[in-house]
Amino acid sequence: MLRKLLKFIIPLGVFLILVASEAVAGGLALTGVGSRAISMGGAFRGLADDWSACYWNPAGLAYLDKSEFNGMLTIISPKPEYTPNIVLKSTDRANEYSIGFKNGTNWYTHDVNHKIPNFSGFFKFPGMADFTAGVGIYVPYGTGAVWDIFDLPNGYNTKVSYPEVDHKSEFDVIDFHPTFAKQVMEGKMSIGLGVSIQKGNIFLQQMVPTQFSTAAPVPWNYFFTNMELDGSGWGYGANAGILYEVNEDLRVGVAYRSPTTLKLEGKASLDLYMPYNPGLVDLYDSYGTHNDSLTANYFRGNVLSAEPDAKADLKLPADYGIGVAYLATEKLTITADLNYTDWARLDFVPINFDGVSPLGTAADDDTLKTNWDSTVRISAGLEYKYSPKLAFRAGYFRDPSPIPDETFTPTIPDIGTKNSFNAGLGYDVGTFRIDYNFEFIQFSDRSIASTVTDPSGGLENHAGDYKMKIYANFISITHQF
């Protein structure tokens, strides 16, 4: 029984911290990189003519007119909404209970503005006008959420109170990205290659319920664990691209980003809240056996703590994209992209442990299923050069969620298909260019009718109704020299 309890509590918590994200694109990913590219809906693989090409299509860097250095700030304001409808089932599946979750009420995260910086520098080498090299430093994944959706059930424990914030997530990946590009075929085609050196940083606070095998009445037959996990790790990959000029008005770009695996290491802080019921203590003590005396200890209202180490491999997806850029007039450029992301690679998460549970038993290794689906994103954008110094931009993308109902939780709030609307502008001041973009993302609502539990009664998803929208601002300054 104790081994079963530990086997559920720690693996689930580690998985949730690995995938927790207030993501604004599919799965764990952010919208993209570069305020100009994002203002065009991320339809940039066929244009790719500024620093952000290192992310979208590195071949485009070969066409930079000058060397340039860029700094960018992204401010994301997510507005998720969750109405829980979580029902836990008994071990024999004959009964259902609503325990602790604040069902039937709309809950919102604490207002948080996530600030994400990006930097880059790319250089045109003297005597090598067709060659560009440099490094980008950007955040392709990240952000988090804070929820208060759980309280200990009435009468469960009169000695202690549960933390007010019971679900919290933070996740970001910083990509150090050395990249080079070269023009070939008399300037009609370019190729580019980049290397990803990724550092992931992760934190999660999560409530984990587990039913233990006693004849105690509800809710005293459950343990509730407040879990805080903190970890980090490194992963490595690459991307490559080709940009081909069909004619002076039309360019086609193809780009590939390799899968990466973050090797994460961290520590779990586990506080196990046990029920307080003096009547059950007296009842089990009265039986007089050793096992019954141990069972009586479950109902003394104690809080037991432990800090085991944990390691896990988080598999991030490969990405395949194709885009076109069409110069409709001397002032108007129209772009479109089609992008496939192999989120199905995140089918399970292997986890290794070193340490003990709050109950003192050794932690077992485990493997968790995620069963994500691969997705296709479509993007479109335009840029209108009002004058040599001023340009206006607009963009749109549609991107489905890869997360199925059976593994969906509010700590991974990519609740449904995203429709993103962007508007931005760029202005040149001497050797500097200032770009700004505003983005609004509306998510399709999601309603999950059934709570999925494991054999110990623990949650594999969070049933209920979800709504989501995001406001984001992007501003960058580029210096050309």
Q: What is the CATH number of the domain that holds 9?
A: 2.40.160.60
Token pair for residue 211? 């039913």
* Residue ranges with strand state E in 85-188: 88-89, 96-97, 107-108, 114-124, 131-147, 167-184
d(CA 81, CA 60): 40
Taking the CA atoms of 257, 261, 267 and 270 in sequence, report the sign of the dihedral they define.
positive
Of 416, 380, 340, 468, give the one whose Cα is nearest residue 39: 380
Kindly report whether the global pTM for this prediction surpasses the value 0.85. yes
User: Whole domain around residue 61: which residue ranges?
Assistant: 2-480
pLDDT of residue 205: 86
Scan for tokens 């969620």, then name that residue.
401
Sign, CA torsion 10/13/15/17: negative
Give the pLDDT of residue 110: 65
d(C-alpha 120, C-alpha 433), whole Å: 14
pLDDT of residue 60: 95
**Torsion angle of C-alpha atoms 176, 182, 183, 184, degrees rounded to 10:** -130
**What pLDDT score does 4 carry?**
41
**Predicted pLDDT at 329:** 97
- Where the chain has pLDDT below 70, the residues are 1-27, 89-96, 110-112, 126-127, 143, 213-215, 455-457
Q: Quick one: angle between helices 290-297 and 278-287, nearest 10?
A: 170
DSSP class per residue in 158-225: SS----S--EEEEEEEEEEEEEEEEEETTTTEEEEEEEEEEEEEEEEEEEEEEE-SS-PPTTTTEEEE
- The one-character DSSP state at 33 is S
Q: Which of 136, 34, 69 shows the shortest CA–CA distance to 481? A: 69
Residue 216: per-residue pLDDT: 76
Q: How many domains does the chain have?
A: 1
- pLDDT at position 8: 39
Q: Read off the amino acid at residue 194.
A: G
